[in-house]
């Protein structure tokens, strides 16, 4: 079986906001998001694109289409506020442990619903089924702008036109995106962006407050020098993170912005290049610094640590 794992709110946020030519939410085999709360709670508000888990007349949760589960990349289940994968299979097992029926019902309603359902789904999935840590309560507190009352997301055009947010590199602090997102005032407001780092050649419309905008004009070419700006950028981000969230962006949010973000993680969080690369790639699955920038990141690693740690000749770089 594929297994069951906890999923942090920032992981689900990034899953929802992956983007290639179109938002990845529009791909039929990308994400199944299941809400295990009551019908009343679901109708009041739920996470975008979530469908409520259907129940039988006897109250048992029903398994979605097994063929769909077998093909989907992510299956995420959430309830009100699960914080662990613990659940109890039966009242008899609880009685053996000396647990009261009252506690068991409370656990079913609040803590165990998502984990129990995820456990029943894992046999149909090729990937681990994810349970949202903290449930809807924690996720909606962090990302209120991704809540909705919409029950049906049927038209393909609607999903194709979904506007992804910048991915979250450091929860609530550091984001990485593209030029369009940087110029969207609502995105800046929702993410509480207080400073921007622009690595594209084109100046952006400034929504951040005066004095909290850094523009390093770098062409996306093999000959471009970005290494000489790493120290300036890292110092700027460090200073601004004490005041609020920072958005790093480039034209497409794939090469230059990811290069700078990795350089920052290496500088301020003591990441090796490999660890920084893996972290950013997990946050945004289509990042791809070109070879010239990879070489400069390797030089940056050598300058920070006094030696080269990551072998950038590997095919993955």
- Domain locations along the chain: 4-160, 167-305
Per-residue pLDDT of the chain (317 residues; tens, 9 = 90+): 679 999 999 999 999 999 988 899 999 899 999 999 999 999 999 999 999 988 777 767 677 788 888 999 999 999 999 888 876 443 334 434 443 332 233 334 456 889 999 998 999 999 999 999 999 999 999 999 999 998 776 567 778 888 999 999 999 999 999 999 999 999 999 999 999 999 999 887 666 555 589 999 999 899 999 999 999 999 999 999 989 999 999 999 999 999 999 999 999 999 999 999 999 999 999 999 999 999 999 999 999 999 999 999 988 88
Coil/strand/helix, residue 223? coil
**pTM for the model:** 0.89
Q: How many CA atoms lie within 13 A of 142 on its CB side?
A: 20
CATH 3.30.420.10 for the 167-305 domain, yes or no: no
Per 3-state DSSP, what percentage of the chain is helix, strand, and coil (rounded to 5)?
40, 15, 40
Residue 33 to residue 128: CA distance in whole angstroms? 13
Q: What is the CATH number of domain 4-160?
A: 3.40.250.10
Phi-psi region of 41 (alpha: psi -120 to 50; beta: other; left: phi over 0): alpha
Nearest Cα to Cα of residue 19 among 160, 184, 195, 183: 160
């Amino acid at each position: 079986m594929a297994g069951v794992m906890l999923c942090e709110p920032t992981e689900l946020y990034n899953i929802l906001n992956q983007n290639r030519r179109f938002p990845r939410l529009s791909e039929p085999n990308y994400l199944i998001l299941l809400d295990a709360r009551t019908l009343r709670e679901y109708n009041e508000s739920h996470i975008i694109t979530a469908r409520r888990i259907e129940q039988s007349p006897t109250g048992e949760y029903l398994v979605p289409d097994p063929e769909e589960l077998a093909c989907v990349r992510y299956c995420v289940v959430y309830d009100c506020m699960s914080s662990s994968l613990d659940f109890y299979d039966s009242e008899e097992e609880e009685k053996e442990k000396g647990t009261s029926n009252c506690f068991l019902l409370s656990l079913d309603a609040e803590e165990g619903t998502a984990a129990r359902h995820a456990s029943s789904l894992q046999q149909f999935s090729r990937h681990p089924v994810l349970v949202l840590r903290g449930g809807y309560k924690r996720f909606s507190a962090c990302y209120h702008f991704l809540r909705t009352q919409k029950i049906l997301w049927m038209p393909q055009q609607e999903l194709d036109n979904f506007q992804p947010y910048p991915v979250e590199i450091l929860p609530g602090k550091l984001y990485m995106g593209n030029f369009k997102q940087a110029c969207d005032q609502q995105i800046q407001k929702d993410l509480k962006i207080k400073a921007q780092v622009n690595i594209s050649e084109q100046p952006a419309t400034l929504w951040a407050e005066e004095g909290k905008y850094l523009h390093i004009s770098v062409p996306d070419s093999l000959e471009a020098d970005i290494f000489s700006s790493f120290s300036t950028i890292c110092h700027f981000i460090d200073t601004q993170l004490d005041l609020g969230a920072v958005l790093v962006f480039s034209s497409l949010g794939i090469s230059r912005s990811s290069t700078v973000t990795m350089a920052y993680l290496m500088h301020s969080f003591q990441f090796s290049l490999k660890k920084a690369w893996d972290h950013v790639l997990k946050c945004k699955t289509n990042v791809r610094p070109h070879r010239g920038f990879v070489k400069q990141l390797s030089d940056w690693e050598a300058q920070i640590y006094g030696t080269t740690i990551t072998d950038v000749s590997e095919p993955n770089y």
